[in-house]
Amino acid sequence: MTKAPTETPLLPASQSTDLPSFDMLNRVARATMARSTNGVSPHAQAAAWFDWLSHISRAPGRQIELAMRALAFGNRLMKPSGTLSSDGAPPFAPEKSDRRFADPAWQKPPYQYWQQAFLAQEEWWRNATRPLRGQNSKSAARVAFMARQMLDGVSPSNIPWLNPVIVEQTLKESGENLVRGMRNLAEDIHRVLAREPTAPQSGFRVGHDIAATPGDVIYRNDLIELIQYKPSTPDVFAEPVLIVPAWIMKYYVLDLLPERSLVRYLVDRGFTVFMISWRNPTAADRDIAFDAYRTQGVMAALDAVAAVTPARKVHACGYCLGGTLLAIAAATMARDGDDRLATATLLAAQTDFSEAGELMLFVDESQVAFLEDMMWDQGVLDTRQMAAAFTALRSNELLWSKMTREYLLGEREPLSDLAAWNADRTRLPYRMHSQYLRGLFLENRLTGGRYAVDGKVIALKDVSIPLFAVATLSDHIAPWQSVYKLHLFTDNELKFVLTNGGHNTGIVSEPGHAHRYYHFATRSTGDRYVDAATWLAQVERAEGSWWQAWSSWLTDHSDPHRCEPPSMGSPSRGFAPLYPAPGSFVHQH
């Protein structure tokens, strides 16, 4: 009888700490360079540009096409009648999500000409970076992304004398807006040089205004604190809810102001809610493995929840990376015959990474190795380096528009609970993040039948409990089409919800939030697969918050007979309340 093959380690042999001296020198050199590029591999960028230049230099048809487009675009811009077409509309329109030229002042000369000339350049480069026959598709996407980033930097909206909003505001205030802007810039430069954290936003104190739902920490280990929230109803559903947040940011994105807190919403509807709060790792935690987040996180929390609510199955919910981890944990539990889960809910969480959006553009062997060397040197992926990566994905909104508003118009970003949370960043351990990048992003092992836990491969198709999955329409981190691929790798009951909003704003979508809607449908066991585009074209649309749909779904999958709330913790089983929520880990910087 032959022995079943097991999966190879998530780190290559070259990642061993017993490195020859020359290899060590190579890593130190790359790590030093990576600090100046925020972990972006120069080779990954240069290779993409070389691939594009090589192919376009051997494509006379594309060259002629681009030359003709340039002439046509120039002719449109230089018409004596101005930049308007025969129907009165400008020939070049920004994308729907682009708000840089939304002010009516941009439709007046000469500003209209400048914005039209810029939009014509964007359109030309979109055509110039379309993939050519034989060209690597990822290289083409990288070049298109980098070209867009460079164009964003020279947009007339960023240049004071070309932006009518800035000109008008400067004249109106006699330059006071520029004085305030320079003061804002000086404060930000000082904070960066002094390596100070982002200034806290007054009115949003953790544990008082946000992350303030009453509860107790009932369990703590080296990686997590487990919060049990106090009931607010006389009776509760028998099945508790365990939430597994991502450890890329603090957990309380799901417990913001009371009226925007998903935790409080569940508690007020009779659910007993538990929440994992992850410890913020330091360089000393460099060797924490990805699977430790499963064993010391999800499984340890399940043990504590089982002690407080014995003989009750659990509704598990995972958000973003926490959802990916929950899917891995659920598949492992199914393989091992552990039936403690009643349902699983995945919020903006990917299980297949073959179409993981723009985050995948620079995930190749060169980029991952370069990033690994930087983390190997630091011990962690730093908060500023993560922030830079996410900012690059939405540079219009998160970089240039913000700089224009704060440094040229002199207006600080308005205070909000979500902005306060977004500024409260965490770090990622070297080993864990390296394994995550290689095993999931780079090699896509989970849906490729090559992801092993405890030496044996797991499969999502083993998960037989009902699933509820939420994706968001404008997600730059977990594109909804990627999240939708869960349909391909499971065959159980699956309710899929697609809500408007982004990765965070779509999830924090409380009832009463204006202009919210969602599409939804339920896939039953044995139903045939429907692709994402067809699914969206034929499913129902509902107005309002998806929270209400989820609460109803949880109710339908719970025991109809409610019971008395469980005690806070279980002292007799070793899970006595330690201290009030939100605990101590959430305050770590």
Q: Which of 399, 417, 435 is the last residue of a domain?
A: 417
452-453 and 456-457 as β-strands: parallel, antiparallel, unpaired?
antiparallel
**How many Cβ atoms are within 10 Å of 371's Cβ, its own excluded?**
26
Same domain assignment for residues 314 and 227: yes
Question: Cβ(425)–Cβ(383) under 8 Å?
Answer: yes
pLDDT at 334 over 80: yes
pLDDT on residue 291? 97
| Domain count within the chain | 2
- 160 inside domain: yes
Quote the CA–CA distance of 245 and 254 in Å, as a whole number.
8
Question: What DSSP element (H or E) covers 330?
Answer: helix 321-336
Same domain assignment for residues 534 and 573: yes
Mean pLDDT throughout 439-460? 95
Identify the domain containing residue 526 by its residue range. Answer: 215-354+444-587
Label residues 195-204 b or e (16+ Cβ within 10 Å = b).
eeebeebeeb
**How many Cβ atoms are within 10 Å of 259's Cβ, its own excluded?**
12
Quote the CA–CA distance of 120 and 139 in Å, as a whole number.
23
Same domain assignment for residues 232 and 338: yes
pLDDT on residue 390? 64
Structure tokens at 108: 């007046």
Same domain assignment for residues 227 and 345: yes
Same domain assignment for residues 341 and 458: yes
Same domain assignment for residues 319 and 233: yes
Residue among 248, 515, 503 nearest 394 (CA)? 503
Same domain assignment for residues 461 and 410: no
Q: What digits encode the pLDDT tens for the residues 461-509?
A: 999 999 999 999 999 889 999 999 999 999 999 999 999 999 999 999 9
Per the annotation, the verdict on 320 as an active-site residue is yes
Question: Cβ(283)–Cβ(379) under 8 Å?
Answer: yes
- 226 inside domain: yes
Q: What digits encode the pLDDT tens for the residues 537-574?
A: 999 999 999 999 999 999 999 999 999 999 999 999 99
- 410 inside domain: yes
Quote the CA–CA distance of 383 and 588 in Å, as a whole number.
13
Quote the CA–CA distance of 210 and 421 in Å, as a whole number.
9
Residue among 429, 395, 374, 356 nearest 40 (CA)? 374
- 26 inside domain: no
Quote the CA–CA distance of 207 and 213 in Å, as a whole number.
8
224-229 and 273-278 as β-strands: parallel, antiparallel, unpaired?
antiparallel
Question: Among residues 254, 262, 266, 320, which one is catalytic?
Answer: 320
Same domain assignment for residues 501 and 581: yes
The model's confidence at residue 522, banded by pLDDT at 50, 70 and 90, is very high
Specify the DSSP class assigned to residue 221. -
Same domain assignment for residues 404 and 522: no
pTM: 0.89
What is the average pLDDT score of the chain?
89
Q: What digits encode the pLDDT tens for the residues 294-329?
A: 999 999 999 999 999 999 999 999 999 999 999 999
Question: Cβ(401)–Cβ(99) under 8 Å?
Answer: yes
Which parts of 270-390 are beta strand (E)? Answer: 273-278, 314-319, 341-347, 380-381
- 422 inside domain: no
pLDDT at 439 over 90: yes
Residue among 485, 447, 528 nearest 346 (CA)? 485
Phi, psi of 478, rounded to the nearest 5 degrees:
-130, 80
Give CB contacts under 8 A, 24+ apart, made by 98-107: 98/396, 99/401, 100/155, 100/157, 100/396, 100/400, 100/401, 101/157, 103/164, 103/165, 105/164, 105/165, 105/168, 106/164
What CATH number does the domain containing 331 carry?
Answer: 3.40.50.1820
pLDDT on residue 300? 98
Q: Which of 417, 433, 463 is the last residue of a domain?
A: 417
pLDDT at 355 over 50: yes
Peptide bond into 91 cis (omega under 30): no
- 544 inside domain: yes
Residue found by looking up tokens 């704060």 in the block: 406
Label residues 78-93 b or e (16+ Cβ within 10 Å = b).
eeeeebeeeeeebbbe
Which parts of 104-231 are beta strand (E)? Answer: 215-220, 224-229
Q: What digits encode the pLDDT tens for the residues 269-303?
A: 999 999 999 999 999 999 999 999 999 999 999 99
- 404 inside domain: yes
- 461 inside domain: yes
Quote the CA–CA distance of 535 and 512 in Å, as a whole number.
27
Quote the CA–CA distance of 183 and 240 in Å, as a whole number.
50
pLDDT at 165 over 80: yes
The model's confidence at residue 343, banded by pLDDT at 50, 70 and 90, is very high
Q: Which of 47-56, 147-156, 301-310, 371-380 has the lowest mean pLDDT?
A: 371-380
pLDDT on residue 244? 98
Same domain assignment for residues 404 and 460: no
Question: Cβ(575)–Cβ(569) under 8 Å?
Answer: yes
Same domain assignment for residues 184 and 233: no
pLDDT on residue 137? 85
Question: Cβ(460)–Cβ(447) under 8 Å?
Answer: yes
Same domain assignment for residues 322 and 235: yes
